[in-house]
Amino acid sequence: MGAVTAQASIEQIRADVSRRKIFDKLFVVVGMLVMFSALLVLAVLFIDLVQKGAPRLNLEFLTQFPSRKPERAGILSAWVGTSLIMLTTAAITMPIGVAAAIYLEEYAPKNWFTAIIEINVTNLAGVPSIIYGLLALGLFVYQFNLGQTILTAGLTLSLLILPIVIVATRESLRAVPRPIREAAYALGATRWEVTAHHVLPYSMGGILTGMIIGLSRAIGETAPLITIGALSFIAFLPQSPITAEFPFLSFAWLKDAFTAMPIQMFNWVSRPDPEFQVNAAAAGAILLGMTLLMNGIAIWLRYRYRKRINW
Amino acid sequence: MNQSTPISMAGSVPGLAYRKLRDRVIESLLLGAALVAVFTTLAIVFVLVRESLPFFEHVSLRDFLTDTMWTPLFADARYGILPLVAGTMVTTLVALSVAIPCGTLIAIYLSEFAPHRLREVIKPALELLGAVPTVVYGYFALMMVTPFLQKLIPGLPGFNMLSAGLVIGIMIIPYVASVSEDAMRAVPNYMREGSYAMGATRFQTATRVVVPGALSGIAAAYILGISRAVGETMVVAVAAGLQPNLTWNPTEPAATITAFIVQVSLGDLPHDSIGYQSIFAAGLVLMLMTLVFNIAGFTLTRRFRQAY
C-alpha cells in the first residue's frame, strides 16, 4: 500500500522534473537566438556597408579630397587626419595612462586621497563623450588658445580614453603574482626597480591590449570632434611630419586644421543627396573595418598572452 | 682567528642613495599622472559652470526648467530645457526596452547555461557590438532601420526617435550583458549547488536563486546602460532629427540634449552669443543626469561585490 503511493509520487516527481526540464531547453534556445541575432545585426551592418559602398571602395576614394561632386569626393584628408590624431592620442595617453595605473596599483597607500582618485577614474569612464568635447572647447580652444587643431583633437581624445587605458593597465598589473614582487624586493630592489624590471614586462601584453581598445574607441569618436569645431571640408593635407632638412622631423602639423573619418562620414550621412550616401557607406565600411580589426588584434593579443604565461 | 669582522651595510651598497632618490622622483611623477583624472573632473565642472553662468544671467532658472519651448537660435528665443530632456528620455526608454530584455537574457545564458568554450568566443564577439563607431550606428538607424520600420508603421517620418532608440538599445546590450553577467558570476557556487540538491533545474536555479542573488548588480547594469543611452550623441543626431519637440511619442522626430549640442557646434556662432552659451547649459544638465545614474550604478556594483 505505502510502496504503491511512494511509487506513484516518484512517477509524479519524474513527470514534474521532465516537464520543468523543457523550460531549460526552451531557455537555451531563446538565449542562443537573442545572442546570435545581436551578432547578426553586426554582420548585416558590415555587409550592407560594404555592398552599398562598393562602387566607391577603390584607390581613388583614398587619394581624393572631399568635393561637392559625390563621385569625385574622397577621404584623403580624413584618413590622414585620423592617423595623425591617433598618433597624437597614443603618444599622450600611453605614458599618462600607464603611469597613473602604476601609481594606483603599486604605490598608492590605502587612504581617502587614493579613494578620490579611484572614484574619479571610474566616474570619468561614464562621462558622455560630448561632455569631453565641451571641456575641450572651453579649455583647449578658448582658454589655452590651441585652436581647432590636431593637437586639440589628440588631447581631447586622450582624456576620453584615459580611464579605459588606466583600468586595463591596472588589471594586467594586478595579474602579476605577489611572489614575483617579493622575490625582487628580497634581492634589494627598490619599488621602481621591482615595477620597471619585473612587473611591467609581464603585464606588457595587457597594457598593449588596453591601449588598442582605447584607440579603437577614439578612432570612431565623432561628437567631441564636432564640438571642438572640426571642419568637414578640408581640401589640403596637414604639414608633413617628415622634412627634407635636419632634424627630418617636424611637429608643425600639430597646429594644423583637420578633418577625420567619422566627421567626414557624418557630413555625408546628413546630406539628402543619395549619391553621398554611397560615399557615407564606403567611409563607414572602412571605419568599421578598422575598428573591428583593432578589436580583433586586441582579442588575439589577450588570448595569446594568457596562454603563454604560466605562473 | 676565525673571528668574523662585522661589516657595516650602511653606505656600502653603491648608489643606494641615488636609487632611493630616483624612486622618490618617479613616485611623484606617477602621482602627477594619476592626478590628471582628478584635474579632468575639476576642469569639466569648472568649464561647464563658468561657460553657462552668462547664460543663466540672461535666462532665469525658472524659465529654463519650466518653459516648454527650446528655440535659442530663433529671433524669438525661448529657453526651456524640457523638450530636450523629453527627447532624451524617450530615446533612452526605447533603448532600454531593447537592451534590458536582450542584455539580461544573454547574461543569464552566458553565466548559467553556455559551455565554457562558447562563452570564451561569444563574450569578445559581443563586445564588438559596443565597439562600432556611433556614427556608423547612426547610418544604420537612418538608412536601414527607419526604412524597415516605415514598412511596419505607415507614415513614420524619415527622422524619428523610435529607430534611433532601437539602435542605441542594440549598442548598449554588451554593457548591460557584461555587468549583469559579472554580478551573476559573483553569486557563490554553493548557492547553485544547494538549489540543484533540492531538485531544481538550471532554469529554476537561474531565475529563483542566481538572479535574485545578483539583483543589485543587475540593477547597476541597467543604470549604467541608462547613463550610456542618455549621453549617446551621433545616433540621435543622424537619425532622430534636430528639431526640439516636446512629445512623448517615439514615432515623432525630436532633438535630444546631445543632438542640440551637435547642431549648434556645426554652425558657426560667435563665442559670446547666447546660443553658444546655451550648449554649455545643456551640457551641464546632461552631466548632472549622467552623474546621478553613474553614482547610483557604482554604489550598487560595490554592494554586490561586497555581498558575498
ipTM given for this complex: 0.87
Tell me the nearest-neighbour CA distance from A97 into chain B, angstroms: 7
Task: Give the separation between CA A87 and CA A66, rounded to whole angstroms.
Answer: 23
The residue among A25, A26, A41 with the most chain B CBs within 10 A of its CB, best to mutate, is: A41
| pLDDT value at residue B305 | 59
Task: Give the separation between CA A158 and CA A146, rounded to whole angstroms.
Answer: 15
Out of A124, A138, A192, name the one closest to residue B26 (CB): A192
> By the CB < 8 Å criterion, does B294 face chain A?
yes
| pLDDT value at residue A308 | 67
B234 contacts on A by Cβ (under 8 Å):
222-223, 262, 266
- List the one residue out of B287, B275, B289 whose CA is nearest residue B45: B287
The 10 Å CB-count burial string (b at 16+, else e) for B92-116 is bbbbbebbbebbbbbbbbbbbbbee
| pLDDT value at residue B193 | 93
- List the one residue out of B211, B208, B177 whose CA is nearest residue A35: B177
- DSSP state letter for A55: G
| pLDDT value at residue B96 | 94
Task: Give the separation between CA B134 and CA B137, rounded to whole angstroms.
Answer: 5
Of A66-70, A181-185, B139-143, the poorest mean pLDDT is in: A66-70
Tell me the nearest-neighbour CA distance from A14 into chain B, angstroms: 11
| Confidence grade of residue A246 (pLDDT, cut at 50, 70, 90) | low
Residue of B nearest to A104 (CA): B34
Of A8-22, A102-116, B40-54, B210-224, the poorest mean pLDDT is in: A8-22
Q: Is A249 helix (H, G, I), strand (E, B) or coil?
A: strand
- The contacts of residue B62 (CB under 8 Å, 6+ apart) are none
Type of residue at A168? A
- List the one residue out of B195, B197, B199, B192 whose CA is nearest residue A20: B199
> By the CB < 8 Å criterion, does A277 face chain B?
yes
Whole-number Cα distances in Å, A157 to A251, B32, B171: 19, 19, 20
Contact map slice: A 101-130 vs B, CB within 8 A: 102-104, 107-108, 116-117, 119-124, 126-130
| Confidence grade of residue A232 (pLDDT, cut at 50, 70, 90) | low
> By the CB < 8 Å criterion, does B35 face chain A?
yes
Residues linked to residue B194 through DSSP beta bridges, in sequence order? none
- List the one residue out of A77, A115, A124 whose CA is nearest residue A96: A124
> By the CB < 8 Å criterion, does B202 face chain A?
yes
> By the CB < 8 Å criterion, does B100 face chain A?
no
- List the one residue out of A35, A84, A263 whose CA is nearest residue B134: A263
| pLDDT value at residue B271 | 74
The 10 Å CB-count burial string (b at 16+, else e) for A210-233 is bbbbbbbbbbbbbbbbbbbbbebe
B260 contacts on A by Cβ (under 8 Å):
none
Q: Report the residue count for chain A.
A: 311
Q: Is B186 helix (H, G, I), strand (E, B) or coil?
A: coil
Q: What would the pLDDT profile of B264-296 be if each residue is shown by its tens digit? A: 888 777 777 787 888 898 999 999 998 888 888
The 10 Å CB-count burial string (b at 16+, else e) for B227-253 is bbbbbbbbbbbbbbbbbbbbeeebebb
Return mean pLDDT, chain A: 85
- The contacts of residue B117 (CB under 8 Å, 6+ apart) are none
- pTM for this prediction: 0.87
Contact map slice: A 167-186 vs B, CB within 8 A: none
CB atoms within 10 A of CB B155: 6
Q: Report the residue count for chain B.
A: 308
Residue A49 C-alpha cell reads as: 556597408
Task: Give the separation between CA A63 and CA A58, rounded to whole angstroms.
Answer: 9
CB contact under 8 A, B173 and A38: yes
Task: Give the separation between CA A275 and CA A279, rounded to whole angstroms.
Answer: 7
CB contact under 8 A, B136 and A287: yes
Contact map slice: A 256-275 vs B, CB within 8 A: 262, 265-266, 269-270
| Confidence grade of residue A79 (pLDDT, cut at 50, 70, 90) | confident
Q: Is A107 helix (H, G, I), strand (E, B) or coil?
A: helix
- The contacts of residue A4 (CB under 8 Å, 6+ apart) are none
Query: What are the DSSP calls for B32-91, one per residue?
Result: HHHHHHHHHHHHHHHHHHHHHHHHHHHS-HHHHHH-S-B-TTSSS--B-SHHHHHHHHHH
| pLDDT value at residue B98 | 93
| Confidence grade of residue A90 (pLDDT, cut at 50, 70, 90) | very high
Task: Give the separation between CA B249 and CA B226, rounded to whole angstroms.
Answer: 19
Out of A31, A120, A220, name the one closest to residue B106 (CB): A31
Of residues B66 and A96, more confidently modeled: A96
| pLDDT value at residue A164 | 92
- List the one residue out of A266, A287, A261, A288 whose CA is nearest residue A277: A266
Q: What would the pLDDT profile of A186-228 be if each residue is shown by its tens digit? A: 998 888 999 999 899 888 888 998 999 999 999 988 889 988 8
Task: Give the separation between CA B153 and CA B149, rounded to whole angstroms.
Answer: 6
- List the one residue out of A166, A181, A171 whose CA is nearest residue A311: A181
| pLDDT value at residue A162 | 94
Residue B70 C-alpha cell reads as: 527650446
Detail the DSSP E strand segments found in B61-198.
none
Domain ranges of chain B: 16-58, 82-307
Look at domain B82-307 and name its CATH class: mainly alpha
Task: Give the ranges where chain A is alpha helix by DSSP (H).
Answer: 2-53, 59-63, 76-102, 112-125, 129-136, 150-174, 178-186, 191-194, 200-220, 223-227, 261-269, 274-308
Q: What is the pLDDT along chain B (308 residues), one digit of tens a residue?
A: 445 555 555 555 677 888 888 888 999 999 999 999 999 999 999 999 998 888 888 888 888 787 778 877 777 778 888 888 989 999 999 999 999 999 999 999 999 888 888 888 888 888 888 889 999 999 999 888 888 888 888 888 888 899 999 999 999 999 899 889 988 988 899 999 999 998 888 888 999 999 988 888 898 889 889 988 999 988 998 888 888 888 888 888 888 899 988 888 887 777 777 878 888 989 999 999 988 888 888 787 777 655 55
Domain ranges of chain A: 1-56, 57-308
CB atoms within 10 A of CB A270: 17
Q: Which CATH number fits domain A57-308: 1.20.1070.10, 3.40.50.2000, 3.30.2130.10, 1.10.3720.10?
A: 1.10.3720.10
CB atoms within 10 A of CB A257: 16
Half-sphere exposure for A151 (CA within 13 Å, toward CB) = 13
Tell me the nearest-neighbour CA distance from B249 into chain A, angstroms: 23
Task: Give the separation between CA B275 and CA B269, rounded to whole angstroms.
Answer: 7
| pLDDT value at residue B89 | 92
Q: Is A198 exposed, middle or buried (0-12, 13-18, 19+ CB in 10 A)?
A: middle
B271 contacts on A by Cβ (under 8 Å):
142
Rg (CA), chain B: 26
A137 contacts on B by Cβ (under 8 Å):
47, 265
Task: Give the separation between CA A262 and CA B131, rounded to whole angstroms.
Answer: 14
Residue A136 C-alpha cell reads as: 575641450
| pLDDT value at residue B1 | 43
Return mean pLDDT, chain B: 85
Task: Give the separation between CA A52 and CA B256, rounded to whole angstroms.
Answer: 29
Of residues B178 and A146, more confidently modeled: B178
Q: What is the mean pLDDT of residues A103-125?
A: 88
A123 contacts on B by Cβ (under 8 Å):
41, 291, 294-295, 298
> By the CB < 8 Å criterion, does A226 face chain B?
yes
Task: Give the separation between CA A16 and CA A11, rounded to whole angstroms.
Answer: 9
Contact map slice: B 150-169 vs A, CB within 8 A: none
